[in-house]
Amino acid sequence: MREHSAEFLQLLLFCVCCLSAGRSLNISSVTVPPWVEAGKSVDLGCTWAPPEQEIWAVRWYRGLKEIYRYTPSNNNPVQVFSNPHLQVDAQRSSAGSVRLLNVSLTAAGLFRCEVSAEAPAFKTVYGEKELRVVALPQQVPLISGAVGTYKEGDWVDLTCTSGPSKPPALLSFTLNGWPPRLSHVEPQVVGADEDGLQLSSLRLRFVLQRQHLRSADAGGDVGLGGGGGGRQEAHVRCTAAIPAVGYEEAADVVLATTARFVAAGMDGRTSGAAGLGVGALCSSWIMFLLPRLLDWARVPRFSSQQFMLLYRGPERWLVQ
């Protein structure tokens, strides 16, 4: 009889232990955003089960340093600890929820939530997650090196710069909407400024050829020009992206060719008028028009020799 009683007590004790283990304190979730922009606010969250479990304290740590404590049995349950890297908003923090203000780049790190049960268990459980702080570029990327006009065969040498940021932006070029040849793009260069932020630059170099150009007057068709006198263009775009945080900005530049003056004769060659220099062409018009204007104004007409002397300089104005 005593043996059966002992076995029953052991079984009862085992069931109580199993029931106690099934209802023991544990962390349900720890909520930390994967990233936050520097200077912004962020909310951290911590929940536990069973929810009716009496809690002695909830603590939040950044690394090994405590930044926040919630003790429900105290008259002032919220307690905030100073930290050089971040600021806790005590007014908007309660229980397992904590709001951080004006997050700096140095606030990034591992955040841990610890929950301790009330007596007699005093069991402590915890969960942790990492917070990343990013600094996004404050302006669109800058493309430098473009000149006013180009012609076929000219070297194009462009540099795209983005930053400062953290992490560094990834830069890429497109030419008329398509990636350029890999041989035309140099490896991206990443530097650092005095604040520890990173600046990215990418260089594009190629010879401008007819297949790069499209007519500005033909709806953007590529390769239409080269033989005509219309304006030809090539469009270059630089894109700066930080994929982890969904950041993307772009800048554009237009490489324009000079519109050419063409006056073709019947045999297809350039006519004599088109081949004249600008000064010679103007002189021909002056010699043609000025005698007629003088005749119309009833001014004594100069001979051709006198007119040439007159035209060649003020020192021969008075000519007999």
pLDDT tens for 174-222 read 999 999 999 999 999 999 998 889 999 999 999 999 999 988 765 545 4
Q: What is the token pair recorded at 295?
A: 């005749």
pTM exceeds 0.75, yes or no: no
Domain 2-134 CATH (choose: 1.10.287.1080, 2.60.40.10, 3.10.20.30, 3.40.309.10): 2.60.40.10
Asked if 33 contacts 41 with a C-beta cutoff of 8 angstroms, the reply is: no
Specify the pLDDT at position 297. Answer: 53
Q: Which fold would CATH assign to domain 142-256?
A: Immunoglobulin-like (2.60.40)
Q: Which residues of 161-181 are buried (b: 16+ CB within 10 A; e: fewer)?
A: bbbbbbbbbbbbbbbbeeebe
Q: What DSSP character marks residue 273?
A: H
Asked if 238 contacts 139 with a C-beta cutoff of 8 angstroms, the reply is: no
Q: In Å, how far are 55, 96, 100, 192, 237 from 219, measured between CA atoms?
A: 71, 60, 53, 43, 19
Q: How far apart are CA 125 and CA 207, in angstroms?
A: 65
Q: How far apart are CA 31 and CA 95, in angstroms?
A: 14
The list of the chain residues with pLDDT below 70 reads 1-23, 217-229, 259-320
Specify the pLDDT at position 226. Answer: 46
* Cross-strand partners of 117: 55
**Would you give the end-to-end CA distance of the chain in angstroms?**
157
Q: How far apart are CA 151 and CA 27, in angstroms?
A: 68
Q: Give residue limits of the domains in the chain.
A: 2-134, 142-256, 272-316
Q: How far apart are CA 249 and CA 165, in angstroms?
A: 13
**Angular region, 297: left φ>0, alpha ψ -120 to 50, beta rest:** alpha
Q: Residue 172: which of 255, 249, 234, 256 has the closest Cα?
A: 249
* Cross-strand partners of 253: 236
| Residue 254 CB coordination number (10 Å) | 10
- Torsion of the alpha carbons at 215, 219, 220 and 222, rounded to the nearest 10: -70
Q: How far apart are CA 27 and CA 21, in angstroms?
A: 14
Instruction: Indicate if 142-256 has the same CATH topology as 2-134.
Output: yes
Q: How far apart are CA 166 and CA 134, in angstroms?
A: 5
